[in-house]
A and B are shown apart, each in its own frame.
Chain A
Amino acid sequence: MAVSQPKLEGAANLAAHFTVPTGAKWANDTRANALSVFNAQGAPHKRDEYWRYTDPSALTAVPTAPAALFSNDEAPMFDGIDRVRVVFVDGIFDADQSDDLTLSGANIETLADVTGADIHWAKDLYGQLEANGQNPVQRPLAALNTAVADQGLVIHVTAKCEKPLAIRYVHSNENSDAVVHHVIKIDEGAEFTLLESGAGAARFNSVLEVDVADTAQFHHVRTQGRDHERKTVTHMFGRLGRESVLRSFTMTVNGVLTRNDAVLEFTGDDAQATVAGACAGDGTGFHHDDTVFVTHDSVNCESRQVFKKVLRNGATGVFQGKILVKEDAQKTDGYQISQGLLLDDNSNFLAKPELEIYADDVACSHGSTVGAIDDDALFYLISRGVPRKQAQDMLVLAFLAEAIEEIDNEELAEDILNRLAAWMERR
């Protein structure tokens, strides 16, 4: 099908708005290819099948609309956790605010630092999982990211890391338009935990490519920043080797537009992946979209998608989740649940769960529900003396907790839960 003129023009405008870095010989071809993919695909448009529930125009507008800065007195996320801290301000690595990039078990570089190199191991990963993930569904904003990003981290994990790496994305300029691209290669048997927090910019486009080798583990916990007017599009591309583990959790509150894509592929047997999200949206300006595509192409792997969204005052939540089980991916266990909790009649939860299965010996299940607070449960709590608002918050937290429980680390899960509880208490 011919690509429509507005899409092509949208792509040309965006491409012209950014610059393709040219310093790094190892990345030049990848970037050039990604740019031509992007130009050929065109910018995403709300008439695209994959953007049916989410209008991407705020993500493609040139220049981006500004976003007011959000400030409050609460401690930065993950502050209480022993970690290596890295700060990006409006999408640009800030060495002064960051710790030394030393973590035993991992070699951490910035994309900007390796940009001058002629050869680098990252050549085999940067833009590669992203390129694989362009099929069967086009992801133009990820291609754009690969083409123009010159900020991000390049991480090679060779052993089990004792502490997590925590990236904090600071939004300090109302007009910032950031593109960040991380690649993480986790060797056989190695383990790595990535924490991310913050809005990052007025408009933030991030790509994370993670290659999880045989028996390796990747843990990922992210909170997306509370700046009300921020626009965010993220893509996580993951490849899972034999007996590997990938667990990713995202918490989102506020933000006019958030689109989180997760694209995972099982290439080795007996691996496990979880993608989970908890989201609380308030107001007609809030639109949050989780789009997940999991491909099973090996035997006896387990995937879980667990998404919970609490919505009120006209907020919109979207979930598009797909499990593709290829012909030889026998004994696949695919699970998918998405639930919307609507606190009023003005809010919306839209879900499109999909299973596409070509193997015959699989156990896949999916469910999607949308509902309101259970009046009987609410009355039960109130009748014991818990004030109505507090009782409602307890039920909302209980609802979200089922997604938070997917985090494999109790300390982090509790941190997230406490943070959510505190936010609810404030409003």
Chain B
Amino acid sequence: MLNIKNLQVGLEEEEKQILKGVDLNIGEGEVHAIMGPNGSGKSTTSYVLAGKDGYEVTGGSATLNGEELLDMEPEERAAAGLFLAFQYPVEIPGVGNMTFLRTAVNAQRKARGEEELSAGEFLKEVRAKAKSLKIDADMLKRPVNVGFSGGEKKRNEILQMAMLEPKMCVLDETDSGLDVDAMKLVAEGVNALRDGKRSFLVITHYQRLLDHIKPDVVHIMADGKIVKTGGPELALEVENNGYADILAEVA
């Protein structure tokens, strides 16, 4: 599904290398987790995959089902099936949540040569999915993320993911700032999308999210590289001992 090879990324504006050769292979239907200390390059990895400006790819590749993501515009990556749930979802005053979501769904459909959803079909689908994420009608009507609590913003990310039905979902610290109930809700939303084909890359600091979204593979990222890869037990090790032991071991 997603194959990242020796990905090297610096900043456009200044001389600074952030990713120093990331390798990652996620197969169809798999759930991978990336953990790692602050500043190790986790968000950068997700942004570069999604195509955010400001980064310079100095080497390597990232393909989605064999197609080079790094050559595509961000909207093409989305249409190709990549979705990034942001660590900090952006507030956009003046753009209605529903309008935005419908525009996005139909833009992707159009890009893939599929038929656009009618207003009625869209409404029916969004209502059902919002309900299961406990997103009320009022939140749907409000401008994108404006005045949403931290938890509401994250649930809104999952709603977008559910509506856009991507192949490859990248979740950047979707658990940060959530209380236990909100996290469960988010995890349920994610699990509902697991269908054996869709793949997930879950970036998190905490084991507790991984109690709810069970990963097949856990990676540890440090200083711009994947330094260790293992099974779910790796996350438990981090939870109990922190990163120090692992980092010392690989140094």
A residues with a Cβ closer than 8 A to B are 374-377, 379-388, 390-391, 394-395, 397-399, 401-402
Contact = CB atoms under 8 A, between A and B. Distances in A.
B122 interface: no
Contact of A381 (B77, B83, B94, B104): B104
A379 B52 CA distance: 7
19 contacts: A375-B53, A379-B74, A380-B89, A380-B90, A380-B144, A381-B92, A381-B100, A381-B104, A382-B51, A382-B73, A383-B84, A384-B104, A385-B78, A386-B100, A386-B107, A394-B95, A395-B94, A397-B94, A398-B95
B86 interface: yes
A121 B103 CA distance: 54
A382 B74 contact: yes
Interface of B: 50-53, 73-75, 77-79, 83-84, 86, 89-95, 99-100, 103-105, 107-108, 111, 143-144, 160, 164
B104 A386 contact: yes
Most central of B50, B90, B111 by chain A CB within 10 Å? B90
Contacts of A388: 73-75
Contacts of A382: 51, 73-75, 78
Interface of chain A, helix or strand or loop or mixed? helix
Contacts of B79: 385
Given A375-B53, A379-B52, A398-B93, A385 B111 contact: yes
B53 A379 contact: yes
B162 to A, nearest CB: 13
Given A390-B103, A394-B103, A383 B50 contact: yes
B134 to A, nearest CB: 21
A418 to B, nearest CB: 12
Given A375-B53, A397-B94, A387 B107 contact: yes
A380 B92 contact: yes
Given A375-B53, A379-B52, A380-B90, A386 B95 contact: no
A382 B51 CA distance: 9
B92 A395 contact: yes
Given A375-B53, A379-B52, A380-B86, A385 B95 contact: no
Contacts, number: 80
A383 B83 CA distance: 7
Given A381-B104, A382-B74, A385-B75, A398 B92 contact: yes
Contact of A384 (B93, B94, B160): B160
Q: Considering the complex of A and B, which 6 residue pairs feature the smallest CB-CB distances, nearest first?
A: A398-B94, A385-B78, A385-B108, A384-B104, A380-B90, A382-B74
A384 B90 CA distance: 12
Contacts of A374: 90, 92
Contacts of B50: 379, 383
B173 to A, nearest CB: 16
Nearest to B111: A385
A386 B73 contact: no
Nearest to B77: A383
A385 B104 contact: yes
Contacts of B90: 374, 376-377, 379-380
Contacts of B77: 383
Contacts of A401: 94
Nearest to B74: A382
B95 A384 contact: no
A375 B77 CA distance: 18
A181 to B, nearest CB: 37
A45 B248 CA distance: 76
B229 to A, nearest CB: 27
Given A375-B53, A379-B52, A390-B103, A385 B164 contact: yes
Given A381-B100, A385-B75, A385-B104, 5 more contacts: A374-B90, A380-B144, A383-B50, A384-B164, A397-B94
A396 to B, nearest CB: 10
Contact of A386 (B75, B86, B93, B143): B75
A385 B77 CA distance: 8
Contacts of A375: 53
B190 to A, nearest CB: 17
A222 B228 CA distance: 65
B102 to A, nearest CB: 10
A386 B107 CA distance: 6
Nearest to A384: B104
A383 B78 contact: yes
A308 B93 CA distance: 14
Nearest to A376: B90
B74 A383 contact: yes
Contacts of A399: 94
A395 B107 contact: no
Contacts of A391: 75
A274 to B, nearest CB: 18
B152 to A, nearest CB: 16
B51 A383 contact: yes
Contacts of A385: 75, 78-79, 104-105, 107-108, 111, 164
A172 B79 CA distance: 47
Contacts of A394: 95, 99-100, 103
Given A377-B90, A379-B52, A384 B73 contact: no
B92 A384 contact: no
